[in-house]
Amino acid sequence: MNTDITPAIQHDLSKQCFFLFVDGQRCVLDYTLQDHFMTITHTGVPDALGGRGLAAQLTKFALEHARAQHWKVIPRCSYAAVYIQRHAEYATLVA
């Protein structure tokens, strides 16, 4: 996957989400943060944008951010849970 052409993922700390716009449509990963525990609650990509790896990019970005902040992660979102299972390098982040 070529990430050079992917729009930049943005972080909105006040709304506790990571997001990007592709073809005018919003893709998002929502989370809650409490005591250095980031609970990933939802990952959403419009159907028209499915299959492009956008949810994976958002999830990876969120996990890398959590790692940099020394947060633990609680993957309540089924997509995020499966992503972490498939990418063992993030297993140590799971609370």
Please report which confidence band the pLDDT of residue 7 belongs to, taking 50, 70 and 90 as the band edges: confident
Based on the structure, what is the number of domains in the chain?
1
23: in domain? yes
34: in domain? yes
Residues listed for the chain: 95
CATH number of the domain encompassing residue 12: 3.40.630.30
81: in domain? no
CA–CA separation, 63 and 72 (whole Å): 9
Task: Look over the chain and give the mean of its residue pLDDT values, rounded to a whole number.
Answer: 93
pLDDT in tens, 39-84: 999 999 999 999 999 999 999 999 999 999 999 999 999 999 999 9
**Domain extent at residue 68:** 3-74+86-93
Kindly state the tokens that stand for 1.
């996957």
68: in domain? yes
